[in-house]
Amino acid sequence: MKKTLIALSLLVSLMAQAGGLLTNTNQHISFVRMMARGASHEIDAVYTNPAGVAWMDEGWTLSLNIQSAFQTRNVEASFPLFGTEPKLYKGDAAAPVLPSIYAAYRKDAWAIQGFIGVIGGGGKCSFEHGLPMFDSRVMAGIMAQTGGTVTPDQYNINTAVKGRQYIFGGQLGFSYRFNDHFSGHLGMRMNYFNGNQWGYVEAIHKANGAQLVDLRLDCDQTGWGITPIVGLNYRYKGLTLAAKYEFKTNLNIENDTKQLVDPTGALAAYEHGVNTPSDVPAMLAVAAGYEFTPKLRATLEYHFFDDKHAEMAQNKQKALKHGTHEFLAGVEFDINKTFTVSAGAQRTDYGLSDDYQSNTSFSCDSYSVGLGGAVNITPHLKLNVGYFWTMYSDYTKNVPAANPGGYNGTTMPGQDIYSRTNKVFGMGIDYKF
């Protein structure tokens, strides 16, 4: 019975905050508290509007930001061998400390700037009781191999899945102000992927203790790639128009496999030394900001992530209906010289499809709301505080038995309902020398 056919695909997608399928855009607390920052001329512009750095105050400006992000990622599964009631599989993802560091120096028309942060992934996700794709395949396999003589009540399935993904980014660029209205930017970011995929599935017969299934995996993964970045900024009185384009990052991740117990060969993708594509998609951001009064500012922004042309494992990008569209709006108001309050919202549409969604890598379209404020502690030191939460739309995937292979390759029907929650809190300080 140990020849039960099951594909233990453990590549758990952890992008858990804001941005496209593989990109985190919440790099500075100003984003957390306002969302739309694409027309910024403050230190967060190093990431959100790099050409806008040419309009910052002269001299050095530094920024340190710390965020804490917490998610749930649940799958409610219906499958004949689970019984008459759906079975809930709970996943928890957490990134208690997500730091980012900014630095910029402007002199006359020139500016040099840099940034270090977690630009993708950003945490650990664990399903302590496994996932339906594993349980359903094990149960269907045992039924097929025993001719139905070994039923689900005669054995226990023990399984767990854990994943870790971080894409660290180090960015460097130069901005130049051509005249009183236009500035431009050229830069690049070095991206380093570090992750781990760990999990096991075992089925034990209750009566005689026989092991019916035994699969195990512990695999570290690393990779790197370069992202070229260009930007433009137009400024006229209270109006700012800005654009940033990040080119696609070709990124392959290589396995460093510590353990692989797989008598079926179903885990060949995780053999030691195997490379898997995981490109960071090209991104276009355009924004329009307006200063209505010296105290009141607002911004509208649009992001496009070209996910369909970013190569993924098993060419999953081809299953997407379109790339990711994001629409953002934000406003901030200076109560006085010391206190600023702000709020913003974001809508994210991924272009999802049934063929793209899986237990180990699923997304849900969403709305996010952020709020917070800033305190000018001194003329040189600013404190930013922000909180945002995301409201996701559940995604229902029905798989009839007539589909090729049926539900998870079991030849039977099934249904998965994917749901998520997300909360992020952050604090940061900006310092001008």
- Within a 10 A sphere around the Cβ of 173, how many other Cβ atoms? 23
What backbone torsions phi and psi does residue 271 show, to the nearest 5 degrees? -65, 155
Range 385-412 average pLDDT: 95
Rounded Cα distance between 160 and 71, Å, is 18
Q: Per-residue pLDDT tens for 186-222?
A: 999 999 999 999 999 999 999 999 999 998 999 999 9
Per-residue pLDDT, 314: 86
Range 54-68 average pLDDT: 97
Q: Does position 23 have pLDDT exceeding 90, yes or no?
A: no
Rounded Cα distance between 42 and 63, Å, is 10
Angle at the Cα of 261 from the Cα atoms of 89 and 356, rounded to 5 degrees: 45
Which is nearest to 426 in space by CA: 395, 373, 386, 390? 386
Rounded Cα distance between 390 and 367, Å, is 6
Q: Does position 264 have pLDDT exceeding 70, yes or no?
A: no
3-state secondary structure of 399: strand
Whole-prediction pTM value? 0.92
Per-residue pLDDT, 353: 95
Measured CA distances, 340 to 2, 34, 377 (Å)? 63, 11, 12
Mean pLDDT score across all residues of the chain: 92
H or E element, residue 161: strand 155-177
Angle at the Cα of 14 from the Cα atoms of 13 and 20, rounded to 5 degrees: 85
Measured CA distances, 2 to 133, 237, 262, 412 (Å)? 18, 72, 10, 21
Among the ranges given (98-112, 258-272, 347-361, 397-411), the one the predictor scored with the smallest mean pLDDT: 258-272
Q: 384-405: buried (b, 16+ CB within 10 Å) or exposed (e) per residue?
A: bbbebebebeebebebeeeeee
Q: Does position 8 have pLDDT exceeding 60, yes or no?
A: no
Helices (DSSP H) in 116-183: which residue ranges?
Answer: 132-145
**How does residue 22 score in pLDDT terms, banded at 50, 70 and 90?**
low
Cβ atoms of 43 and 407 within 8 Å: the answer is: no
Q: Does position 1 have pLDDT exceeding 50, yes or no?
A: no
Cβ atoms of 399 and 355 within 8 Å: the answer is: no
Cβ atoms of 321 and 331 within 8 Å: the answer is: no
List, in sequence order, every residue forming a beta bridge with 162; answer none if it has no partner: 126, 198
Q: Which residues contact 146 (CB under 8 A, 6 or more apart)?
A: 1
Per-residue pLDDT, 202: 93
Q: Does position 7 have pLDDT exceeding 50, yes or no?
A: no
Per-residue pLDDT, 5: 38
Cβ atoms of 177 and 165 within 8 Å: the answer is: no
Q: 135-147: buried (b, 16+ CB within 10 Å) or exposed (e) per residue?
A: bbbbbbbbbebee
Range 317-328 average pLDDT: 95
Q: Per-residue pLDDT tens for 323-371?
A: 999 999 999 999 999 999 999 999 999 999 999 999 888 999 999 999 9
Percentage above 70 pLDDT, the chain: 94
Per-residue pLDDT, 20: 66
Q: Which residues contact 385 (CB under 8 A, 6 or more apart)?
A: 29, 33, 372, 373, 374, 375, 426, 427
Assigned architecture for domain 29-432 = Beta Barrel (2.40)
Cβ atoms of 406 and 413 within 8 Å: the answer is: yes
Cβ atoms of 333 and 4 within 8 Å: the answer is: no
Of 79 and 94, the structure prediction assigns the larger pLDDT to 79
Range 263-286 average pLDDT: 88
Q: Does position 406 have pLDDT exceeding 90, yes or no?
A: yes
